């Protein structure tokens, strides 16, 4: 291989891989950059993220705030974010004509509300800086060369020699899929699903599918709890509160084989004691009104009617006429309703795993392997994962950019 022009091969055509490839090619025109994608699709997670709008990043006020949204890898991302953070991401895309907007919950999207805008931007950059993109090219093993470079063995027997490799292959659902990376001497933290919804087969709550409301959710027998929007689906529960719980509890819930009890408080501003204290004045104020028609908590009407039904309260009952036993049952359902969970469902196509390359074996300042030179990592292949809200994409952009700048600086 010519010593004049060096080569970088990036394995993985997702957000992290593309960001590494286009930035390395831009910063070093003399570097030949090849991007390999094992499937027939590029940037597939970018396409489906945020309901097809692409949740590019999160409008975090500072690095400390941001790092607290990563169940795994907080210390690692704190160091890497000092090199490329949210304002850098916003500026990078803005410089290329993609303006981002922040929503009330902090999620950031392109102003077009279309993920294709982000995809087109990255593809244009790859074209502009002559990144060679090859589809349906899966790396099966890596071999070190005597000169400090690498030979990539691809499916079908093809070999590709390179000076630098950046692995941005994403997460794997099965530990066995990491074998080719273990052969480089790296340790793999076994994978576990990290963003998933809760299955509640046969639960009457599913009759309210499509209903969304603020709630506080706890996992019985654990310290896991989250507050936020909860969405009822035809299979159980989803929404930000559930997805965040699934990320923080990824290992714990896997150990329970996804069989546990979720305790939902439909009135996050109350607990059992404060609701009991407030109840007599509510009963006095609304005594003559039918409880079915008068919901003083601002709950969606369908949910209110469902809870009254579950408490055995007749729709003709007035507030003043509800028996104490039924009142107690309703209070319990409002602030502490048990839902047996049996199984999980992947959140749309946004499958995220925890697990991957052990972080102690990677330098967060460069994304280079601490074990073997000229081998870099970016994105979800590392044991870093964030909750839903743009955090996983920010890690992808950051790690891809940091790897690119470190490779160019060699």
Q: What is the DSSP track for 8-76?
A: EEEE--SHHHHHHHHHHHHH-TTSEEEEE-SSS-SSHHHHHHHHHT---EE--SSHHHHHTT-SB-HHH
Residues 138 and 149: their CA atoms lie apart, in Å, by 19
Model confidence pLDDT, tens digit, residues 256-276: 999 999 999 999 999 999 999
- CB within 8 Å of 42: residues ≥ 6 apart: 13, 18, 119, 123, 133, 135
**Local structure of 279: helix, strand or coil:** helix
* Model pLDDT, residue 351: 65
Q: Which residue has the tokens 């091969």?
A: 9
Q: Name the phi and psi angles at 44, rounded to 5.
A: -65, -35
Model confidence pLDDT, tens digit, residues 118-142: 999 999 999 999 999 999 999 999 9
Residue 367's nearest CA partner among 398, 391, 393, 394 is: 398
Residues 231 and 238: their CA atoms lie apart, in Å, by 5
* Model pLDDT, residue 2: 44
For the segment 212-224, the average pLDDT, to the nearest whole number, is 98
Residues 262 and 252: their CA atoms lie apart, in Å, by 13
Residues 336 and 333: their CA atoms lie apart, in Å, by 5
Q: Which residue ranges form the domains of the chain, and what is each CATH number?
A: 7-193+353-408 (3.50.50.60), 196-346 (no CATH)
Res. 349: pLDDT tops 80:
no
* Model pLDDT, residue 3: 52
Residues 164 and 34: their CA atoms lie apart, in Å, by 10
For the segment 309-331, the average pLDDT, to the nearest whole number, is 96
Res. 44: pLDDT tops 80:
yes
For the chain, what is the mean pLDDT? 96
* Model pLDDT, residue 147: 93
Q: Name the phi and psi angles at 69, rounded to 5.
A: -100, 15
């Amino acid at each position: 291989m010519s010593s004049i022009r060096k080569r970088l091969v990036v394995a993985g055509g997702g957000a992290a891989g593309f960001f590494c490839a286009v930035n390395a090619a831009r910063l070093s025109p003399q570097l030949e950059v090849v991007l390999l994608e094992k499937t027939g699709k590029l940037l597939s997670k970018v396409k489906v993220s945020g309901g097809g709008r692409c949740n590019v990043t999160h409008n975090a006020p500072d690095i400390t705030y941001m790092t607290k949204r990563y169940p795994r890898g907080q210390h690692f991302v704190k160091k890497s974010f000092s090199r490329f953070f949210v304002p850098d991401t916003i500026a990078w895309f803005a410089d290329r004509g993609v303006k981002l907007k922040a929503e009330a919950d902090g999620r950031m999207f392109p102003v077009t509300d279309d993920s294709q805008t982000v995809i087109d931007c990255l593809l244009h950059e790859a074209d502009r800086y002559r990144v060679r993109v090859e589809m349906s090219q899966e790396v099966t093993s890596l071999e070190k060369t005597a000169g400090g470079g690498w030979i990539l063995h691809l499916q079908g027997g093809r070999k590709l020699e390179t000076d630098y490799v950046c692995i941005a292959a994403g997460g794997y659902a099965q530990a066995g899929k990491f074998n080719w990376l273990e052969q480089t001497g790296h340790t793999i933290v076994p994978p576990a699903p990290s963003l998933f919804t809760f299955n509640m087969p046969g639960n009457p709550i599913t009759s309210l599918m499509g209903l969304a409301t603020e709630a506080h959710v706890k996992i019985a027998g654990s310290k896991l709890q989250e507050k936020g929007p909860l969405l009822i689906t035809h299979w159980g529960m989803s929404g930000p509160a559930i997805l965040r719980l699934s990320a923080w509890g990824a290992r714990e819930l896997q150990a329970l084989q996804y069989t546990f009890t979720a305790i939902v408080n439909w009135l996050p501003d109350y607990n059992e004691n404060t609701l009991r204290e407030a109840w007599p004045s509510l009963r006095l104020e609304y005594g003559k009104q039918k409880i079915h028609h008068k919901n003083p908590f601002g709950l969606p009407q369908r949910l209110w009617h469902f809870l009254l039904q579950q408490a055995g309260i007749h729709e003709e009952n007035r507030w003043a006429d509800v028996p104490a036993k039924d009142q107690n049952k309703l209070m319990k359902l409002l602030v502490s309703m048990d839902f047996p969970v049996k199984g999980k469902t992947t959140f749309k196509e946004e499958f995220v795993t925890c697990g991957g390359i052990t972080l102690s074996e990677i330098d967060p300042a460069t994304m280079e392997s601490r074990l073997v030179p000229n081998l870099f990592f970016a994105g979800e292949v590392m044991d870093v994962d964030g909750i839903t809200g743009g955090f996983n994409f920010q890690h992808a952009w950051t790690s891809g950019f940091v790897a690119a700048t470190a490779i160019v600086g060699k």
